[in-house]
């Protein structure tokens, strides 16, 4: 069969297989070229495929490279959580204390922790810039929000990926968004963004179909990166958490994502002093080996 490497597929932001956002993880990938990694990511055709390598920074437990079907990303949220689960599941963590991990990636060092079986990553330092009124109007139009809707205030929030992020009127409006993906892709490329991210607050006391209390609805669109709608997006939710904090919200919450496309992602957001952590459950769905010849 030729040269093979350990391979896992992890469902992230769910405690039930096939309801979250899958990430493909290739372990022991130090011998692969960038071209081979991109080819594998294009073949898996998931929103992200990751490759675990030996760290170059002595403070890190492992190094991670993250690819969409058509490009490499400096950082992404659900691949970070899924890859950490793969590293732990495969017994590759050398340290005895598995309650904290440090990942090295192109965006720098990312700290992770385990809490009651869930994994959390600390949001990297961000940079936020205001989107112009004309561009915000174009984004709103591409999302199909309609002329009668007040134009949302979009911000470009850079956490490694750049998400054009805005709060909408309510969760129903978030769920009703019907994007023109070609226009969103063009706008994202022109504005140097990974994609567009919208969110809103549920009514107080709202519970989902499983009877769980949830507070925020989120959707993320990245057609310019080959992902029309990200089922459950860690970096997108990081941008939502940052935007909410900037507007005075400092309470931990649970967000939903993916219902419109048949998923049930649940994202746990924790404000810990100056830090923000994004976390959730992870499930191993596939384990085996992948041919890399």
| 211-248 residue pLDDT tens | 999 999 999 999 998 889 999 999 999 999 999 999 99
Q: Is the pLDDT of residue 99 over 80?
A: yes
State residue 267's pLDDT score: 98
Q: What percent of the chain has pLDDT over 90?
A: 89
Least confident among 84-98, 118-132, 134-148: 84-98
Least confident of 24-38, 138-152, 226-240: 138-152
Q: At what angle do helices 133-142 and 181-190 cross, to 10 degrees?
A: 150
Residue 88 and residue 162 in one domain: no
Number of domains in the chain: 2
Q: SS3 of 33, please?
A: coil
Q: What is the mean pLDDT of residues 83-107?
A: 89
In this structure, the answer to whether residues 150 and 236 fall within a common structural domain is yes
The mean-pLDDT minimum among 115-119, 190-194, 267-271 falls in 115-119
Which two three-digit tokens encode residue 40? 């594998």
The CATH number of whichever domain residue 269 belongs to comes to: 3.10.310.10
Query: CA-CA distance, 46 to 144, in Å (whole number)?
Result: 26
Same domain, 140 and 117: no
Residue 1 pLDDT exceeds 70:
no
Task: Examine the domain organization and report whether 156 and 242 are in the same domain.
Answer: yes
Q: What angle do CA 118, 122, 127 make, to 5 degrees?
A: 145
Residue 96 confidence (pLDDT): 64
Task: State how far Cα 88 lies from the chain centre.
Answer: 20
Could you give the residue numbers annotated as active site?
48
- The answer to whether residues 111 and 247 belong to one domain is no
Secondary structure, 3-state, 93-130: CCCCCCCEEEEEECCEEEEEEEECCEEEEECCCCEEEE
- Domain identity same for 76 and 112: yes
In which band, very low, low, confident or very high, does the pLDDT at 153 lie, cut at 50, 70 and 90?
Answer: very high
| pLDDT at residue 274 tops 70 | yes
Q: What is the CA radius of gyration of the chain?
A: 18
Q: Looking at 66-80, 94-108, 118-132, 192-206, which range is the least confident one?
A: 94-108
The per-residue pLDDT for 70 is: 87
CB-based contacts of 261, cutoff 8 Å, min separation 6: 229, 231
**Same domain? 256 vs 171:** yes
Q: What percent of the chain has pLDDT over 70?
A: 98
**Do residues 119 and 148 both lie within one domain?**
no
Looking at the structure, tell me whether residues 145 and 95 fall in a common domain: no
Same domain, 72 and 198: no
- Whether residue 76 is found in the same domain as residue 181: no
pLDDT, mean of residues 166-185: 97
- The two beta strands, 72-73 and 62-67, are antiparallel
Asked if the model's pLDDT at residue 95 lies above 80, the reply is no
Q: Could you tell me if 166 and 67 lie in one domain?
A: no
Give the residue numbers spanning the domain of 138.
Answer: 127-276
How would you class 286 by CB atoms within 10 Å of its CB: exposed for 0-12, middle for 13-18, buried for 19 or more? middle
Q: Give the pLDDT mean for 94-112.
A: 87
């Amino acid at each position: 069969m030729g040269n093979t490497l350990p391979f896992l597929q992890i469902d992230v932001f769910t405690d039930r297989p096939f309801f979250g956002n899958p990430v493909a993880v290739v372990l022991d990938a130090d011998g692969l070229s960038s071209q081979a990694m991109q080819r594998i990511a294009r073949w898996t055709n998931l929103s992200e495929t990751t490759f675990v390598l030996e760290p170059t920074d002595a403070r890190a437990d492992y190094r991670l490279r993250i690819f969409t079907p058509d490009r490499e990303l400096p950082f992404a949220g659900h691949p970070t959580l899924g890859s950490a689960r793969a590293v732990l599941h495969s017994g590759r963590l050398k340290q005895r204390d598995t309650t904290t991990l440090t990942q090295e990636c192109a965006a720098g060092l990312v700290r992770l922790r385990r809490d009651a079986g869930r994994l959390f990553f600390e949001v990297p330092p961000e940079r936020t810039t205001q989107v112009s009124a004309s561009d915000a109007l174009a984004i709103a139009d591409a999302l199909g929000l309609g002329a009668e809707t007040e134009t949302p205030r979009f911000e470009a929030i850079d956490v490694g990926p750049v998400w054009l992020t805005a709060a909408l009127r309510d969760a129903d409006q978030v769920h009703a968004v019907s994007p023109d993906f070609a226009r969103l892709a063009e706008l994202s490329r022109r504005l140097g963004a990974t994609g567009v991210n919208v969110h809103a607050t549920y009514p107080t006391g709202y519970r989902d179909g499983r009877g769980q209390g949830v507070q925020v609805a989120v959707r993320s669109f990245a057609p310019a990166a080959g992902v029309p709608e990200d089922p459950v997006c860690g970096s997108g939710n990081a941008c939502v958490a940052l935007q909410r904090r900037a507007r005075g919200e400092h309470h931990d919450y649970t967000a939903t994502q993916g219902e419109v496309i048949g998923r049930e992602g649940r994202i746990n957001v924790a404000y810990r002093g100056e830090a923000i952590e994004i976390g959730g459950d992870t499930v191993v769905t596939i384990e085996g080996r992948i041919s890399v010849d």
